[in-house]
Each structure stands twice: as C-alpha cells, then as structure tokens.
Chain A
Amino acid sequence: MTTATPSRTRAAGATTLASALNRALRDSLREDPSVHILGEDVGTLGGVFRITDGLAAEFGADRCLDTPLAEAGILGTAVGMAMYGLRPVVEMQFDAFAYPAFEQLVSHVARMRNRTAGRMPLPITVRIPYGGGIGGVEHHSDSSEAYYAHTPGLHVVTPATVADGYGLLRAAIASDDPVVFLEPKRLYWSKEDWSAEAPAPVEPIGRAVVRRRGTSATLITYGPSLPVCLEAAEAAKAEGWDLAVVDLRSLAPFDDETVAAAVRATGRAVVVHESSGFAGVGAEIAARVSERCFHHLAAPVLRVTGFDIPYPPPMLEQHHLPGVDRILDAVGRLQWEQ
C-alpha cells in the first residue's frame, strides 16, 4: 500500500522579511531561556510592524515584555538585565524614537566590556526599523546608522534580504557583543522564496556579499538601497554598463576584504545609501576604498546619498532618496573614456 512519494522537507515558499525576523526571534526564544524581548507594543499587539507577532502568547508576557513608553528606560533596564545574565532583545518602535536611548547606548552599552576589562559583556540586541520610503510622517524615516557605526564597541548590522534577516538576527542575538540591528522597514513586506527548514543558516556578522557580479563599476550599498542598486544595475545594461553590487550587511565590523576585491575587479565604485552624505557611512567607505584600491581606481569613488537636510515630508521624499536615475547619473560621471 505504500506509495513511492519521497519524504521531503516542505518546499520553500514566499516569505516576508517581517516573518523571517519573527521566526528568528521565536527560534532564539525557544532555544535560549535567557533571551527576553522588551519594547513598546511588542506583546499583545506584536509590535507596530508585527515583528513580535504571537511571541508573548507563545512564550509568555515575562519573555516578551510590553514596557512603559520610555526608550531610555527600556535600554537602561536591558543593560541591567544583561548584567544579571539575561540576553535582552530590545525593540525601538521607529528610528527616531531610539534617540531617547542614545545615552544608554553610547555611554553604557557600547563601553561596558571595555570599562570592566572584559568582565561584563552586554549581549544586547537593539532592533531598530529604519529608513524612509514608506510615506511616514516626521521622525518615522530616519537613517541613523552613522551615529551607531561611529560608536566603538557596537556592531551595526543591517539585512537586505529575507534570508539575511533570519541569519543575521540569530547571529546578533547570539553575539556576546551589543548589536544595533537596523531593519530596513520598507523591505519588511518584500518576499523571497525562503524556508526556515533546517539547516537554518546563521550568517556570521561582519561579512559583505557580492549580490551581482559585474565588470564596469561596483555599487556598494546596504539595507533599503540594495534593491534600488540591483534595479539600477539592470537598467545600466541599456547604457552598456555591467555593474557589480556589493551588499555590506555589516557596517561595523566592516568587510574591507570583500569590498576592496569587488572594487579592484572593476576599477570604479559608487557608494549608495539613504542617510545624509556628510560624515555618513559612505564617507568612511569611500576613504577605505581609496586607501586600499587607489592604484586600481579609474575615477574617484562617488557617493549617492540622501541630501544634508532634515528628512523631508512624505510627498517630497522621492527627491531625497537615492533612486535608479541618480545612481546611473553618478555611474555616468565615473570618467569613462570617450
């Protein structure tokens, strides 16, 4: 009576970044009883983006805490919880609402290992939905990565794909160093064929990945700008350019090896990010690339970034955000021979 149907793992299906992140939190809570989630509206509601959906119901309100509305309080108490031996995963509701917690992050979270001569690591993950392009009112669209990347002692990670959402969040929670985990909110609902069936890949923190090979020039980007760069690379074919695209994934630590190799392969580079250009992460990247690849470069490293202005109101955000055309415009300025 047995049929010959082979037993096989469930086929990969369309999964959103949001549900992959949810899955990473769920698996972490399940595997490690010291993992605790703290944040505003993360319990019954499951977070305003539903990233913690169902976790309070499954693991209890004392594993997934609806906190008072106070970000400094959330992160400050997470510090104490970590000192006690817990592994807090903090959710900040939006990028700009993490600023009240900035003092805790910079003065305490980032320094505790150093101050205590390694005796007191703080394995805290601070999840922050960031970036624009969702038509959000004021303070809902900031790209705050440069503040964090500038702070010694913090890891700063940002996934751009569904698989990385899972793999990097698992790694962030498992890390014994504090990790600022920046979630590109406009990619929350982007889908990929991905299944968390074993083996679930946990991505090591600190490795960039080449998303597209190319020969003409290299786009270096991360987070919400990755899909824009991939689209630009497609569009560039019409101009005769074959663009490579590097997804940094981790801003700190920075993967010099992968980035430099990708730039040397083409001799031209453009850095793309949403946040303002001045003293931004792109400036650091351009400097590092110039230092390492000077003799391979046919043109200065260019940047396509948000302007150096407060984030504009929704109806104007498309002018501020780097789009395909501005990226191609920059590629066109890479001193091509006639």
Chain B
Amino acid sequence: MTVDSTAGAPTTAPAANDGPADAGPPELVQLLTPEGERVEHPDYSLETTPEELRSIYRDLVLVRRFDAEATSLQRQGELGLWASLLGQEAAQVGSGRAMRPTDYAFPTYREHGVAWCKGVDPLNLLGMFRGVNHGGWDPDEKNFHLYTIVIGSQTLHATGYAMGITKDGADDAVIAYFGDGASSQGDVSEAFTFASVYQAPVVFFCQNNQWAISEPTEKQTRVPLYQRASGFGFPGVRVDGNDVLACLAVTRWALDHARTGQGPVLIEAFTYRMGAHTTSDDPTRYRIAEELESWKLKDPIERLKAHLVREGWADSAFLESVEAESEQLARRVREGVRTMPDPDPSSIFEHVYAEGHALVDEEREGYLAYASSFASAAAELTDGEDD
C-alpha cells in the first residue's frame, strides 16, 4: 500500500514556470529585457529620469556589495549565519522604492534590499546574524518590521496592520514579503482571506526564487502562484523579478490600488536564489549548475547597466564612483561588525513584560549574584597571589 506522493514532478508543468526568458510568457510583466532593452507594457507604464535610473542602479550595486560582505563575514566567523539575497536585488529594490516612507514593510529574513530602501542601517541587520540580538532596529522608526523567521506568519501581521490603517482612514499601505515556500502555509492563505474580506490595503509580495531550501516550487504548487489571488477575490500579477523597473511599476500600481480602498494585490516576482539558502546550506546536494548558469544571463544589475550605458546615461566615471561607494560601504560594515559590542548578559531578563515581574526579577537577581560570586572568587584569588 502506498500513498500518492506530492514529491513527483507535476504531470502537466504550468508553462508559466518555464521562466521569463523562455519565449516570455504573456503574463510576465517586463519593462527591461535581460539584454537591457526598454520595452513597454500595456498595463504598467513607468516614467523615469536618467537620474532616477542611476539612483536605482546605485541601490542595486550597494545592496549586492553589502550582501557579499555579509557572506564573507560569516565565512570569517564574524556572523553565525547569513541569508543571501543574491539574485533578488531587483525584486527588493524595485518594490522597496515603490513604498512611501509611511508605508510599512513586513519582511522575511532575506529582505536586506528592502531594508536598504527603507533606510535601515545595514549594520543593524547584522546583529541578529552575529547573535547579539533578535533584530537591532526599531520597527516603527523606518516602518520596517523585524525579520520574521517563522515562515509565512508575517503575512497575517501585515494584514492586521493594514486593517488598522483603514480604521484610521489613512492612505498608507503595507507590503507583506514572503517566499514561494511560504505560499503553502495556512497563515498565508488566511492572510489572503482576511485581506480580501476586509479590503485591507496590503500588497502580498511573493519572491518566487524557485527554491524553498531544497524544494523546488513544483513541490508547493501546480498553478503559477500569482493565480492564487483570483480564488481569494483580488488581482494577482506575475512580474519579472529580475527587472527592477517592472518590479517598481507593478508595486507602485499595487500600493496605489491598495491605498485607494480597492483591496489587496498579490505580486509574484519571478526570480532566482543565486546562492545557497543560507550559509549553512549546500545547494549542490539538490540542484544542478546549469540552472544557475541560465539565470546568470538574466542578472538584474547587468541589464540595468546595459540600458544605462546604451542610452549614454552612465559613463565610466559614474560606474566607478558607484563601485568605490560600494567598497566604502563594505568597509564600514566590516569594521562595524568587528567592533559591535557584545551584549550584556543581564539584558536577557529585559523586555519580557511591561512591568516588573516577580519571577523574572527574582531570576535576574539570583543570576547576577551567582555571576558576581565568580568575580569575587576570582578577585580573592588574585588577592591571594599578591600576598
């Protein structure tokens, strides 16, 4: 007796899963081809100045450089873990730049590019990965919530936050970030339901990077993910996740849709996780190198660079200055991590409850007395040596 397995390849692979370069399925919104050619889309237009394009390019390069630095800091033992965004810069910078400062983002653990766009100091992102805290920033300061590791749960938080916004009559909106793997979680379906029923101003931004650790997207779904939205009663759009302009245009549209009371939108940014799941992962165990090679040709930064150069909007002086700035950022991050102060042991007893709490207070006092007994024992020892 055997059960039918969910593990086998779908018998009918959805054509849309073939990827953007393969004859460009009609549903994939693209404004910049992998070769760097600017194309128009009937539904999503985007006005940009050369200046803005250069600024976007700068964001992409800096974010990638920061990410590479974090990866090497992990290798050097300065971080315990790192979840690289390599390959997903356009999805994150495009959607991140579409937000107003008052719009709120609920990230996963990989949204370093969104954090950058929201103005969170990259150094603050590293505290958690170094092991000194659970997230080193004030979520409300930049309207960027802490990284959420429990897969999918933040989509509900984002929806509730958006419901709060409508109570206030404000015209802010929220983005809930999540992955292709997360799309299987009940929490995500529940978030879709709540957002739809309450017409909450939330944009569900799914970065389909084709992998959830070792499981390819076919193990999560048999329909393209963006199509799920229609079952919940709101629009879904698949965008070329390696096209920063398309990501920007579609997310801007979706945020406006949400903030003007028309309800949620699901965006599926079709992209690729170029690196390991995290520094603890070994992708050679489960995926083939050719896949990586084919996605290299769709690199999000190269295509914008090609476009800028072709149009004559970026000369070598500009490109070099961005390069130099990225090295400067890497240096600042490196030094910042190395000099990050170790956390105070007694801090583990803080912020457990609003008020003093008998049990925690007792444990704090007990532990501090216990710890200082070692200090005084050590002092006695040194005194003894002096005698």
B131: A residues at CB distance < 8 A = 135, 137, 313-315
B182 within 8 A of A: yes
How distant is B224 from chain A, measured CB to nearest CB, in Å? 16
Q: Is the CB of B5 within 8 A of A138?
A: no
B285 within 8 A of A: yes
Which stretch in B20-28, B41-49, B183-191, B302-310 binds the other chain?
Answer: B183-191
Interface residues of A in 38-68 (CB under 8 A from B): 40-41, 43-46, 48, 56, 60-63, 65-68
Residues of A within 8 A of B (CB): 33-34, 36, 40-41, 43-46, 48, 56, 60-63, 65-70, 72-73, 81, 84-86, 96-97, 99-100, 135, 137-140, 278, 307-310, 312-316, 319-320, 325-326, 329
Q: Is the CB of B352 within 8 A of A310?
A: yes
Q: Is the CB of B134 within 8 A of A138?
A: yes
Instruction: Known contacts A62-B5, A69-B212, A69-B215; decide if A307 and B363 are in contact (CB<8 Å).
Output: yes
B316 within 8 A of A: no
The CA-CA distance from A63 to B131 in the complex, in Å, is 38
Q: Given known contacts A97-B151, A313-B133, what 10 new A-B pairs fall within 8 Å (CB)?
A: A46-B285, A68-B220, A69-B152, A70-B184, A86-B3, A135-B131, A137-B128, A138-B149, A307-B360, A325-B374
The CA-CA distance from A175 to B133 in the complex, in Å, is 41
A97: B residues at CB distance < 8 A = 150-151
Which of A33, A41, A73 interacts with B213 by CB under 8 Å? Answer: A41
Interface residues of B in 47-104 (CB under 8 A from A): 80-81
How distant is B107 from chain A, measured CB to nearest CB, in Å? 14
Q: Is the CB of B213 within 8 A of A45?
A: yes
Q: Is the CB of B5 within 8 A of A41?
A: no
Instruction: Known contacts A34-B1, A65-B7; decide if A45 and B128 are in contact (CB<8 Å).
Output: no
Q: How large is the interface on B (under 10, 10 to 19, 20 to 34, 35 or more residues)?
A: 35 or more
The CA-CA distance from A165 to B2 in the complex, in Å, is 27
Q: Is the CB of B360 within 8 A of A308?
A: yes
Which stretch in B164-172, B261-269, B342-350 binds the other chain?
Answer: B342-350
Q: Is the CB of A70 within 8 A of B185?
A: yes
A65: B residues at CB distance < 8 A = 5-7
Instruction: Known contacts A85-B1, A313-B343; decide if A68 and B184 are in contact (CB<8 Å).
Output: yes
The CA-CA distance from A84 to B2 in the complex, in Å, is 11
Q: Is the CB of B348 within 8 A of A309?
A: yes
How distant is B212 from chain A, measured CB to nearest CB, in Å? 5
Chain B residue at minimum C-beta to C-beta distance from A61: B7
Which of A36, A69, A310 interacts with B181 by CB under 8 Å? Answer: A69
B128: A residues at CB distance < 8 A = 137-138, 313
The CA-CA distance from A267 to B219 in the complex, in Å, is 57
How distant is A232 from chain B, measured CB to nearest CB, in Å? 15
Q: Which 3 A-B pairs have the closest CB atoms?
A: A314-B131, A45-B214, A68-B184
Chain A residue at minimum C-beta to C-beta distance from B127: A313
How distant is B241 from chain A, measured CB to nearest CB, in Å? 19
How distant is A242 from chain B, measured CB to nearest CB, in Å? 24
Residues 260-301 of chain B, each 1 if its beta carbon lies under 8 Å from chain A, else 0: 000000000000000000001100011000000000000000
The CA-CA distance from A269 to B251 in the complex, in Å, is 62
B7: A residues at CB distance < 8 A = 43, 56, 61-62, 65-66
Which of A44, A60, A278, A319 interacts with B286 by CB under 8 Å? Answer: A44
Q: Is the CB of B149 within 8 A of A312?
A: no
B359 within 8 A of A: yes
B356 within 8 A of A: no
Instruction: Known contacts A45-B285, A313-B343; decide if A320 and B348 are in contact (CB<8 Å).
Output: yes
The CA-CA distance from A195 to B343 in the complex, in Å, is 44
How distant is B314 from chain A, measured CB to nearest CB, in Å? 38
B8 within 8 A of A: yes
The CA-CA distance from A87 to B247 in the complex, in Å, is 46
B130 within 8 A of A: yes
Q: Is the CB of B285 within 8 A of A44?
A: yes
B129 within 8 A of A: yes
